[in-house]
Amino acid sequence: MYILALNCGSSSLKYQVFDADTKQAIVSGNVEKIGNPNSFVTQKYPDGHKDRKEAVMKDHKEALNVVLFMLREASIDMNEIAGVGHRVVMGGDKFASSVEITDSVIKTLDELSPLAPLHNPSGIMGIVTAQQLLPKAKQVAVFDTAFHQTMPAVSYLYPVPTEWKSELGVRRYGFHGTSHLYVSKRAADLLGKPASECNLITAHIGSGASITAIKNGISVDTSMGMTPTAGLVMGTRCGDIDPSIPAFVASRKGISMELVMNELNKKSGLMGITKCFSDRRDIEANKDTNLDCKLAIDIEAQNVKKYIGAYMAELGKVDALVFTAGVGENDSYLREKFCEGLEGLGIKLDKAKNDVALARKGIDEAEISAPDSKIKVFMIATNEELVIVEDTLAIMNKTYNPNHLEMNYSFAKQC
């Protein structure tokens, strides 16, 4: 029996097929440039072999058709796919846990689309197409926002007119929830404590980035807001800025607010500072010869440290700081920059441990703090797909617990 994990982005579709018994991925892939004439699929296997197929895929429905064709070519029996777990970006305050997908759920996701116009419509198309192509499979939605629905009102409410919240849903939702959930469980295990007794700061640093404050195992604050544009400086997203800037720029340049927001999401962040790079590898490679690259690193490091300090104050006591996602798992230089100067707050990195703790070198998790660091520092490679698979299986088996502190995850050994 197989579980298919689907992640529909605005112009991409990532997928993995898991063996339901071992919970091990047996094939994975990525569809890129959906909607463009040069769209293609890359399918990967555990032995490192890759297949590539170029095909015109104008939408996610066509993309999923191509994916299922490639899975058949890889000898995956479609009748053996018993469940499909869908990563859904925006569940708003309507979904605080994973759910079986029904017509009512799809209707609610559609109603939430104005809050995530680039992601929810493509996610819905992926769901509807999967229902049509795999009618015997149980369809489950796993939400990026669900983990953060434990935030108190002091964290999620914005100081704006009340009707904005009641009529338009304006509030902090947070994202990357499945990643923050996974690494928080693994951090608790590394600490040798139940998750419900752990205070953590989890930093998901990739092209998109967010930091979450976790108190007694649950999210109490997070850097992303109503949209993924808020919070940290990211690859191409601006993060926190003066809220008057968009209207000022639109007025002075005579451009639409839609264009302004596009530039804040796709031409800002590290790209905006360096003028040419959004990838940290390029920025670091040029830091000694390009002053903008050096400045970008310094701005990002200061930004991350400000959030760490703020969440330390909010939590009062912190057991561990956790780095995850592409940069958090693989960039020892930036991890060092993020922790530099925090020794007085009890965070002290061990340079030797940090330098070798790289997910790309096969290290899934490691303690990278110095022996005398009051707060542990971990690198933990995230596994959002495993969360999706285990939630899907649990809902299929009627063992799912919407309270993740009581959910029996295989990767959360402490009870």
What amino acid positions are annotated as catalytic residues? 144
Whether residue 321 contacts residue 304, with contact meaning beta carbons closer than 8 Å, is answered with: no
Q: Which of 223, 213, 191 is nearest to 319 (CA)?
A: 191
Task: Show the CA angle centred on residue 135, arms to residues 133 and 138, nearest 5°.
Answer: 115
- CA proximity to 115, closest of 87, 141, 88: 88
Q: Pull the structure tokens for residue 53.
A: 């197929």
Q: Which long-range contacts (CB under 8 A, 24 or more apart) does 45-54 make?
A: 45/74
CA–CA gap between residue 233 and residue 306 (Å, rounded)? 12
Per-residue H/E/C for the chain: CEEEEEEECCCCEEEEEEECCCCCEEEEEEEECCCCCCCEEEEECCCCCEEEEECCCCCHHHHHHHHHHHHHHCCCCHHHEEEEEEEECCCCCCCCCCEECCHHHHHHHHHCHHHCCCCHHHHHHHHHHHHHHCCCCEEEEEECCHHHHHCCHHHHCCCCCHHHHHHHCCCCCCCCHHHHHHHHHHHHHHHCCCHHHCCEEEEEECCCEEEEEEECCEEEEECCCCCCCCCCCCCCCCCCCCCCHHHHHHHHHCCCHHHHHHHHHHCCHHHHHHCCCCCHHHHHHCCCCCHHHHHHHHHHHHHHHHHHHHHHHHHCCCCEEEEEHHHHHHCHHHHHHHHCCCHHHCECECHHHHHHCCHHHCCCEEECECCCCCEEEEEECCCHHHHHHHHHHHHHHCCCCCCCCCCCCCCCCCC
On whether the CB atoms of residues 278 and 270 are closer than 8 A, the answer is yes
Q: What is the C-alpha to C-alpha distance for residues 80 and 147, in angstroms, rounded to an integer?
A: 30
